[in-house]
Amino acid sequence: MASIDFNCMATMIGSVPYEEPDLACKTVNRFLKEWPAWPQMPRRSNLESMYVQFTEGFPGLIIKEDKVEFERPADIDRWIEKVFIDSQENNYSSYSIGNEYAAGFHYCINHAASHIKAIKGQITGPVSLGLCITDANGQGVVYDDVLAEALARFLKLKASWQEAKLRKKVKNTCIFIDEPYLTSLGSAFIALSTSQISSLINEVLSGIKGLKGLHCCGSTDWSMLLKLPIDIISFDSYSYLDSFICYPDEISSFLKKGKAIAWGIVPNDEEKLEKETPNELFDRLCESINKLVSPDFAFKDVLSRSIITPSCGLAYLDYESTEYVLSLLGELSGRIRKKYCQ
């Protein structure tokens, strides 16, 4: 990891507004030429919602639009035992993600460009998914210790399967765990200890061989997340920069290990996009990176360990705004690298 210079390469979080996988992949590849991500398309089907997309094969689930309810089946113990054994033996072959759940993924792996440097995948994290899958009482399954661990191991196997497919097409891969619900850490909404959260996320991470990232799109306890065994921390730097840089010691320790920061510098909100220009976002990015400059890290040091992304997913933008976001990412990446990385 320490030998990799990201130098502000651009990628995206995952979701796009398109419903046709060929259009989605071709648009992403047109702008993110070095490091595309396979596109999630929740508008295409509710099965591609991030809270449904990776549940295929989990027993007892009833999907109602974006809601997922769990009714405990009679043979749940047998299934849990199988998941635990498969997890221990890394038997991920039966934990596939079907085309109806991820059409963009399947199109992407069948049409991956040969010239790209890396490819990014993503999977919903065990805390966020475990809060969204609810039982008859409306309680998230993450509060059932056995089910929570089974879910984490299940997602670990899903991540392993996804990564193995991507690595057949592109040597360098990165799988991000998306944990939007971690913005509620410390509130009554998440009645989990930091050790429980870390343990669940670590379980999923243990199934990833290549680069490992974690994305959270709001304010959270970054000190905990920066201590996880990840290579990239991803956050909405457009709106939540101040909450992130409140942890200078943890960030410094993270960077000293050769790890990287994904700056969500391009907003995914149409109203905010209208107010920004490429020059303003370039200045904003440089100012953000400058906030981490210290005696240990010069500007170019931080920049070499930086990635540029949108602030979060793009599913709720229109097509024109989506292309604008992707074009801004490519433009910002090229401009900052031309100026500082020659």
- The per-residue pLDDT for 3 is 47
In the predicted model, what is the mean pLDDT of residues 119-138?
Answer: 95
Q: Are 212 and 229 within 8 A, CB to CB?
A: yes
212 part of a folded domain: yes
167 part of a folded domain: yes
217 part of a folded domain: yes
Number of domains, the chain: 1
Phi/psi of residue 122, nearest 5 degrees: -155, 155
3 part of a folded domain: no
Sign of the torsion angle spanned by Cα atoms 143, 160, 50, 307 = positive
100 part of a folded domain: yes
197: domain CATH number is 3.20.20.210
DSSP 232: E
Sign of the torsion angle spanned by Cα atoms 259, 337, 170, 97 = positive
- Domain extent at residue 287: 9-340
pLDDT digits (tens, 9 = 90+) for 94-127: 999 999 999 999 999 988 777 888 999 999 999 9
The pTM of this model reads 0.95
2 part of a folded domain: no
| pLDDT(2) > 70 | no
Q: Are 212 and 230 within 8 A, CB to CB?
A: yes
Kindly give, in sequence order, each residue whose CB lies less than 8 Å from that of residue 280, ignoring residues fewer than 6 positions away. none
1 part of a folded domain: no
230 part of a folded domain: yes
109: which 2 tokens? 């792996």
pLDDT digits (tens, 9 = 90+) for 32-89: 999 999 999 999 999 999 999 999 999 999 998 778 999 999 999 999 999 999 999 9
141-149, long-range: CB < 8 A, 24+ apart: 141/70, 142/192, 142/200, 143/191, 143/192, 146/80, 147/70, 147/80, 148/196, 148/200, 149/200, 149/203
As a whole-number percent, the residues of the chain with pLDDT over 90 amount to: 86
Give the integer Cα–Cα distance in Å for 63 and 319.
28
| pLDDT(188) > 80 | no
